């Protein structure tokens, strides 16, 4: 393995001797008479990267100890390996250099074969570090690209070393939330296609940003709704309270979003259902097209509650409300939603209506006349 090596020594004879040995081994060299000049070479904007530094200790202007300390304190230079080659062989100097960050310490009467071995070892270690950084940068780029198509939490899960176990399937308590548009069918039938698309872009943009802000995991979204859950893949002890906070924020922001369309004669509202319970989560799909999803009664119940909620309502299961009340009890403004008979459930489900949170708009947007529940 060959590299570009900076030789720093104030004695021309010693410097030229090291340069000749290195060039005989197939390396390219750069020379500097002292630490200050060496730093100038390393920091020059147009310089080719240096792979290794051979550094003397006793030099004018800036000695080896000061140079080494400045190198290791510079984020752009700290990863360049440094081999100290010096006639100063006191144990204290050796220990000081190693503690400061030197990769190795050699006497000036260096044997060519020992020099070859130490240089190759340092260059190999640098190559490994460079590869690790490149791999990390690649993973971050992939994660950034994945985040454009997946929830950030799921994108991080897919690209993490521990993610496979979670992707394979696990069981956990979650809080699920369904958000559904009211009157979207009639809106899409009467509005121009460009208007519908423009509204959906704004709607998805606003609601999606709120989901990310509240750290929910977006399982999927269709044209007129979202399915989001909390407490997976990242654990969130306050997952029920988080879901209700998100729901209140969604309703508040949607009121502003839909106001302009209401002036044009289109009455659009949202209904939200939230439920807490255990679910099985993991990779769902087939080779070539996987999603990260959840299966369980909590998902079904949240969907049914969303469908049963009137326009502008946030309808939550009693269990969800009880868990959220333990966290946000003083801030929640709610009233009983009654026992709801829902499709697929053999008994009536006790519910609560979230009308707001203290310090935020408390009243749910009124259901417009003719709005479909």
- In this structure, is residue 362 part of a structural domain? no
Output the pLDDT for position 150.
56
Residue 272 near residue 313, CB atoms below 8 Å? yes
Does residue 249 have a pLDDT over 90? yes
Task: Give the least confident one: 195-204, 215-224, 281-290.
Answer: 281-290
Please give the DSSP secondary-structure letter assigned to residue 129. H
CATH at 172:
3.30.70.1230
Share of the chain above pLDDT 90, in %: 54
**Mean pLDDT, range 326-351, rounded to an integer:** 92
Residue 86 near residue 108, CB atoms below 8 Å? yes
DSSP letters along 309-364, please? SPTT-EEEEHHHHHHHHHHHTTTEEEEEEEEE--TT-SSPEEEEEEEEETTS--SP
Q: Is 335 exposed, middle or buried (0-12, 13-18, 19+ CB in 10 A)?
A: exposed
- In this structure, is residue 151 part of a structural domain? no
What does each C-alpha distance from 247 to 49, 149, 271 come to in angstroms?
53, 23, 10
- Taking only the tens place, the pLDDT of each residue in 99-125 is 999 999 998 888 889 989 999 999 988
Q: Is 281 exposed, middle or buried (0-12, 13-18, 19+ CB in 10 A)?
A: buried
- In this structure, is residue 235 part of a structural domain? yes
Which of residues 82, 116, 145 is at a domain's end? 145
Same domain, 136 and 186: no
Output the pLDDT for position 156.
67
Residue 360 near residue 332, CB atoms below 8 Å? no
Same domain, 139 and 184: no
Same domain, 221 and 195: yes
- In this structure, is residue 215 part of a structural domain? yes
- Taking only the tens place, the pLDDT of each residue in 25-54 is 999 999 999 999 999 999 986 778 899 999
Helices 318-328 and 239-263 cross at an angle (nearest 10°) of 100
Same domain, 116 and 208: no
Rg, C-alpha atoms of the chain: 32
Task: Give the least confident one: 43-52, 143-152, 198-207, 244-253.
Answer: 143-152
Same domain, 107 and 30: yes
Same domain, 288 and 316: yes
pLDDT category, 228, cuts 50, 70, 90?
very high
In this structure, the chain runs to a length of 373
Same domain, 260 and 221: yes
Same domain, 175 and 244: yes
The CB density around residue 27, as the number of other CB atoms within 10 Å, is: 21
pLDDT category, 369, cuts 50, 70, 90?
very low
Which of residues 118, 145, 172 is at a domain's end? 145
Nearest to 123 by CA among 208, 218, 209, 26: 26
Q: How far is CA 319 from the centre of its chain?
A: 31
- In this structure, is residue 289 part of a structural domain? yes
Count the domains in the chain.
2
End-to-end CA distance of the chain: 72
Does residue 353 have a pLDDT over 90? yes
Q: Is 343 exposed, middle or buried (0-12, 13-18, 19+ CB in 10 A)?
A: exposed
- Taking only the tens place, the pLDDT of each residue in 202-225 is 998 899 899 989 999 888 877 678
- In this structure, is residue 372 part of a structural domain? no
What does each C-alpha distance from 67 to 104, 172, 174 come to in angstroms?
15, 54, 55
Does residue 348 have a pLDDT over 50? yes
**Mean pLDDT, range 263-270, rounded to an integer:** 89
Same domain, 124 and 224: no
Which of residues 115, 145, 175 is at a domain's end? 145
- In this structure, is residue 222 part of a structural domain? yes
Structural domain that includes position 18: 4-145
CATH at 138:
3.40.50.2300
- In this structure, is residue 170 part of a structural domain? yes
Same domain, 166 and 140: no
Same domain, 15 and 41: yes
**pTM assigned to the model:** 0.59
Nearest to 314 by CA among 270, 369, 257: 270
- Please, what's the b/e burial string for 157-168 (b: 16 or more CB within 10 A of its CB; e: otherwise)? bbbeeebeebbe
Same domain, 56 and 96: yes
């Amino acid at each position: 393995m060959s590299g570009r090596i900076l030789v720093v020594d104030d004695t021309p004879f010693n410097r030229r001797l090291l340069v000749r040995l290195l060039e005989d081994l197939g390396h390219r060299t750069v020379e500097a008479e002292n630490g200050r000049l060496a730093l100038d070479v390393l920091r020059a904007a147009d310089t080719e990267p240096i792979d290794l530094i051979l550094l003397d200790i006793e030099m004018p202007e800036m000695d080896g100890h000061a140079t080494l300390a400045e190198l290791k304190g510079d984020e752009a230079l700290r990863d360049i390996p440094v081999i100290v080659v010096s006639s100063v062989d006191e144990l204290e100097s050796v220990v000081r250099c190693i503690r400061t960050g030197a990769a190795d310490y050699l006497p000036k009467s260096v044997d060519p074969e020992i020099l070859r071995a130490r240089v190759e070892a340092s260059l190999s270690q640098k190559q490994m570090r460079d590869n690790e950084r490149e791999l990390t940068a690649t993973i971050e780029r992939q994660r950034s690209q994945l985040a454009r198509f997946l929830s950030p939490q799921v994108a991080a899960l897919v690209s993490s070393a521990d993610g496979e176990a979670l992707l394979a399937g696990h069981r956990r308590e979650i809080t699920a939330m369904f958000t559904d548009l009211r009157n979207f069918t009639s809106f899409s039938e009467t509005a121009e296609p460009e208007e519908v698309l423009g509204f959906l872009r704004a709607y998805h943009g606003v609601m999606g940003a709120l989901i990310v802000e509240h750290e929910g995991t977006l399982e999927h979204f269709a044209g007129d709704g979202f399915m989001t859950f909390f407490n997976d893949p990242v654990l969130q002890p306050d997952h029920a309270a988080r879901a209700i906070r998100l729901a209140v924020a969604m309703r508040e922001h949607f009121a502003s979003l839909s106001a302009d369309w209401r002036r044009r004669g289109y009455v659009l509202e949202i209904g939200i259902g939230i439920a807490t319970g255990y679910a099985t989560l993991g990779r769902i799909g087939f080779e070539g097209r996987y999603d990260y999803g959840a299966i369980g009664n909590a998902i079904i119940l949240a969907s049914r509650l969303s469908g049963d909620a009137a326009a502008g309502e946030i309808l939550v299961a009693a269990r969800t409300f009880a868990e959220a009340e333990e966290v946000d009890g003083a801030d929640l403004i709610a009233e009983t939603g009654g026992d709801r008979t829902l499709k697929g459930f053999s008994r009536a489900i006790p519910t609560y209506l979230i009308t707001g949170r203290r310090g935020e708009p408390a009243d749910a947007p009124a259901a417009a006349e003719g709005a479909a529940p």
